[in-house]
Amino acid sequence: MITKPKGCYDIYGVEAKKWQYVNKMIDSLMEKYNYSYIRTPIFESSEVFHRGMGESSDVVTKETYDFIDRGNRSMTLRPEGTAGIVRSYIENKMYGNMPNPVKLYYNGTMYRYERPQSGRDRELTQFGVELIGSDDPFSDAEVISIPVNLYKMLGLREIKVKINTLGDNESRSRYREALMEYFRPHLNELCDDCKERFNKNPLRILDCKVDKDSDILKNAPVTLDYLNEESKNRFEKVKEYLEALEVDYEVDPKLVRGLDYYNHTVFEIEAHVEGFGSNNVLGAGGRYNGLVELLGGPSTPGVGFASGIGRLIMALDLENIELPIKDDVEIFIMYVSDTEKNYAATLAQSLRMSGFRVETEYTGRGLKSQFKQADRLNAKFLIILNDEDLKNNEIKIKNNKTKEELTLGLDYLLYYLDEVLLEDDIDVEYKEEEMIEEDDCDEYHCEGDHQCHHKGE
């Protein structure tokens, strides 16, 4: 039997509907923030990611899927979204033909060769945004607020932002020198990877998974002690804007990100999720003011974040948050004879094109089995075709919940379905709203036409 590759997953059934629902929520939220969707290639020239993410980053040194194509070109499956989008920004001259700043969001598959474990896969799907062309601290705060609001709208609780700053180039250079001076006497006590990072990028040592609990790392210098006045003032502004947006945060002076292109603001967003353990980060990102120039474009500031969709779905499941996915059909059309079957095909087409979710019989089962199939599909209404009724331009329709059965004229069917299904939808929405406490909506500023799914407690 041929099986899927290790670290990859088939997403189908109810799970797929959860993914679709979350994706729709993302699209709706991005429309309100006025971010435009962008799709970049799944593979690009290796230089895009190797230069963009930094040759010293763990992703490039250990995790990228690199290959030589038939044209003898070095290609890489994209491990993250930012570098490819910056390449597109430069190649398509977005800095000259789009409103500044350019606000983009993506939602697609990424590939990293790492040991598969809970919430970490070799094929993963990430949603993220890039705001390119603004160095205003308000941009940082807005980008951070996006995943925070998404997680709250989906019903997650205790959302917390951890934030730090690496400062500008001058501050980062001073901090780099301080780290090298600090770590030099302790090199023999660090892992082999950290020994390599020491000369390439000592900031990466702080992100080490092997030595993270050692006293050496715990006592290392922190970025905040090496900031110049401009970087300090900028960080204070970011925090002020976060407070204005009512985003809870805490400063974590040991926080650094695993990619070399970050400067100034870096952040991680956590939620308290039972079962996640200590690794409860759902999204992360930061500012990358030198990346556009590094990849051959004009000097342009940028800031963004990424969030794994699979990990987000896992968090919702662990917290027992039920998303209002549509796991039913509105109408199941039943028949027995060939004449009825021909009409079933025509009627199903007509109802679907009129906006109804419709299913019918495909395997030649009898009526008794069709009734069971309709129940398995959670069909709201059954249309039971009968040759005699059709001759009289009539049709039988049955409410599968109340078991009420009516005979209607064919010309009246659409009007009837519109009326009864609209009432049913209104009733479902009303019941969902009852689950949301008024105080919760005040807390999360629920307004407009978005849906909130806080757990009723």
Please state the domain extents for the chain.
Answer: 13-168+228-318, 331-434
Average pLDDT over residues 227-254: 95
Confidence of residue 57 (pLDDT cuts 50, 70, 90): low
Architecture of domain 331-434: 3-Layer(aba) Sandwich (3.40)
Average pLDDT over residues 269-274: 89
143-157, 190-204, 382-396, 405-419: least confidently modelled range: 190-204
Confidence of residue 259 (pLDDT cuts 50, 70, 90): low
- Is pLDDT of 413 > 80? yes
110-114, 159-163, 306-310, 336-340: least confidently modelled range: 110-114
Q: What is the pLDDT of residue 210?
A: 74
- Is pLDDT of 70 > 70? yes
CA angle (436, 439, 443) in 5-degree steps: 100
Average pLDDT over residues 20-25: 96
Amino acid residing at 422: L
Which three-class secondary structure state does DSSP give residue 178? helix
Indicate the DSSP class of residue 190.
Answer: S
Indicate the DSSP class of residue 59.
Answer: I
Give CA–CA dist 236/242, Å, rounded: 10
Give CA–CA dist 248/251, Å, rounded: 10
More confident residue, 407 or 450: 407
Bridge partners (DSSP) listed for residue 397: 383, 406
Confidence of residue 64 (pLDDT cuts 50, 70, 90): confident
Q: What is the pLDDT of residue 257?
A: 72
Which three-class secondary structure state does DSSP give residue 109? strand
More confident residue, 220 or 90: 90
Confidence of residue 429 (pLDDT cuts 50, 70, 90): very low
Share of the chain above pLDDT 70, in %: 87
Confidence of residue 438 (pLDDT cuts 50, 70, 90): very low
Sheet holding 394-399, edge to edge: 358-360, 331-334, 381-384, 394-399, 405-409
- Is pLDDT of 59 > 90? no
Instruction: Say if residues 328 and 335 touch (Cβ distance below 8 Å).
Output: no
Instruction: Say if residues 453 and 154 touch (Cβ distance below 8 Å).
Output: yes
CA angle (352, 354, 357) in 5-degree steps: 40
| Residue found under tokens 């200590």 | 278
Radius of gyration of the chain (CA): 27
Q: What is the pLDDT of residue 58?
A: 60
CA angle (285, 291, 292) in 5-degree steps: 125
The H or E element containing residue 397 is strand 394-399
The CATH T-level fold of domain 13-168+228-318 is: BirA Bifunctional Protein; domain 2 (3.30.930)
Bridge partners (DSSP) listed for residue 399: 381
End-to-end CA distance of the chain: 46
**pTM of the predicted structure, to 2 decimals:** 0.84
- Is pLDDT of 446 > 60? no
Burial 122-141 (b: 16+ CB within 10 A, else e): bbbbbbbbbbbbbebbebbb
Which three-class secondary structure state does DSSP give residue 383? strand
Q: What is the mean pLDDT of the chain?
A: 87
Amino acid residing at 88: S
81-85, 192-196, 378-382: least confidently modelled range: 192-196
Maximum separation of any 2 CA atoms in the chain, in Å: 94
Confidence of residue 435 (pLDDT cuts 50, 70, 90): very low
Confidence of residue 201 (pLDDT cuts 50, 70, 90): confident
Q: Which of 25, 38, 151, 150 is nearest to 103 (CA)?
A: 38
Average pLDDT over residues 113-139: 88
- Is pLDDT of 293 > 90? yes
Q: How many CA atoms lie within 13 A of 179 on its CB side?
A: 27
- Is pLDDT of 279 > 90? no
Average pLDDT over residues 450-455: 42
Q: Which of 82, 87, 256, 97 is nearest to 162 (CA)?
A: 256
